[in-house]
Amino acid sequence: MASGSASSGSSGTKAVVTRFAPSPTGFLHIGGARTALFNWLYARHHGGTYLLRIEDTDRARSTDAAIEAIFDGLSWLGLAGDEEPVFQFARSERHAEVAKALLDAGQAYRCYLTSEQLAERRQKAQEERRPFRLDSEWRDADPTTWPEDQPYVVRIKAPRDGETTIDDQVQGAITVQHRELDDFVILRSDGTPTYMLAVVVDDRDMGVTHVIRGDDHINNAFRQLVILRAMDAIEGGWPDPVYAHIPLIHGADGAKLSKRHGALGVDAYRDEMGLLPEAVFNYLLRLGWGHGDEEIISRDQAIEWFDITDVNKGASRFDMAKLQNLNGHYLREAADERLAELVLPRLTAAGYEDADKALLARAMAELKVRAKDLNELAEGAAFLFAKRPLALTEKAQKLLTDEARSRLATMHERLSGLSEWTLEALEDNLKAMAAELELGLGKLAQPLRAALTGQTTSPGIFDVLVLLGRDESLARIHAQASVSAETQS
């Protein structure tokens, strides 16, 4: 392989093709979701194609559950592939075919070094305090001397002179001296391909023009170019892709992102945390990329504005509080019927089997202004479906003194006589009562809220009365008005 540069320039008239290629050894984590997002956005921005590839060659650790979780998480975020996904393991024969082509052309060789021999050489390099670089005597051996009765691996012949520069779209120009490259294995002794070979072959066969991935793959790029350029020399049609290596995500404290920072599977953000996909989409977009001072960015705006060259070189910091605040914004913007659909299963799981979606939808306008996620929405809506006698929080119990319960009895009598159960009629009636008693409205509203919801916080008290309806509201007020403070405590 001659010295050269992997250009970052325009791909000419060739359509942009990106790919997201997770390994199904675990669920789709938040860093992987951002990589998928940047690939999706770049393809959309340039009118190209975004593909998915499941790199399932690690058969011992790859699971169907993880594959399903990856597809599920991507679908939730709106990042499903434009075509059917490619499964890497199913292409093993094609990978081996390329390894044979490299062997036949003298660009790779059979290496018969045993694991014991390799271990000895690594040990010697360590003792001599030098980096281990394999110098296999089989590299230039005459193929006619290859023994047929011994196991071997196939190694690529990495160049030993010169250098390669990658003009990375995010990191800028990166140069590696060829003497730093090793003759890495492309085919194992059992005939199965390694990751390094499979990735190169799949990217080429899928027509991938832009490889956008984490910057922990930078070293892999130089090794993969060895295979690419060797195959291009053999048969042509193996062009260098455009590389863009994006920085990893760190926690708010600057340390590598871990579970304590929020490095969970995407399903946890949906199921456990109760976040909306548009909020996670928007937040991931802003992790390392921005457009001026814009914080709230729609999907259409993201497609219009995004370019991979605008991604920051430095690591971004994951801030759970910012994500939750952003989610609160999207909750307030979401349609009430959609939120009711999402909250209903949470209420059912919490034991409110009679929760009514229509009532939930009517309540959402008031509930969603006070919540940051679907869990808080469900908690805020629970009072609507609570059974009598209502369970009271400790703070609510303290509000229901004997004097407060006496006033509840009076409110029950007054409200029972209302001909219309509307916001206006309820507000007028209770304000009139407060004026007669020379009290602030809060002195009536606070114990009334405790009686109606069992809590000290809720939507506006008149909204609560309307949402619960006449019969249920009067029944709850009567239930608390009939209990003495001593009995309740």
As annotated, the active-site residues are: 259
61 vs 218: CA distance, rounded Å: 24
Burial, 263: exposed, middle or buried (Cβ in 10 Å; 0-12, 13-18, 19+)? middle
Sign of CA dihedral 162, 168, 226, 185: positive
137 vs 134: CA distance, rounded Å: 9
Which helix (H) or strand (E) segment holds residue 165: the answer is strand 163-168
Question: Rg of the Cα trace of the chain?
Answer: 32
Q: Are 200 and 187 in contact (CB under 8 A)?
A: no
With b for 16 or more beta-carbon neighbours within 10 A and e for fewer, the 288-297 pattern comes to: bbbbeeeeeb
Strand pairing category for 163-168 and 172-177: antiparallel
Q: Which residues lie across from 156 on neighbouring strands? A: 108
Task: Sort residue 300 into left (φ over 0), alpha (ψ -120 to 50) or beta.
Answer: alpha
Listed in sequence order, the DSSP H helices in 236-273 are 266-271
Q: Are 37 and 77 in contact (CB under 8 A)?
A: yes
Q: Map residue 323 onto helix, strand or coil.
A: helix
The secondary structure of residue 217, as a DSSP letter, is G
Which helix (H) or strand (E) segment holds residue 53: the answer is strand 49-54
Dihedral (Cα; 4, 6, 9, 14), 10-degree rounding:
110
Strand pairing category for 185-187 and 153-156: antiparallel
The secondary structure of residue 370, as a DSSP letter, is G
Q: Is 259 annotated as a binding residue?
A: yes
Which helix (H) or strand (E) segment holds residue 452: the answer is helix 441-453
Q: Map residue 164 onto helix, strand or coil.
A: strand
222 vs 6: CA distance, rounded Å: 9
Give residue for tokens 């979401």. Answer: 334
135 vs 399: CA distance, rounded Å: 82
The secondary structure of residue 48, as a DSSP letter, is -
| Annotated binding-site members for ATP | 259
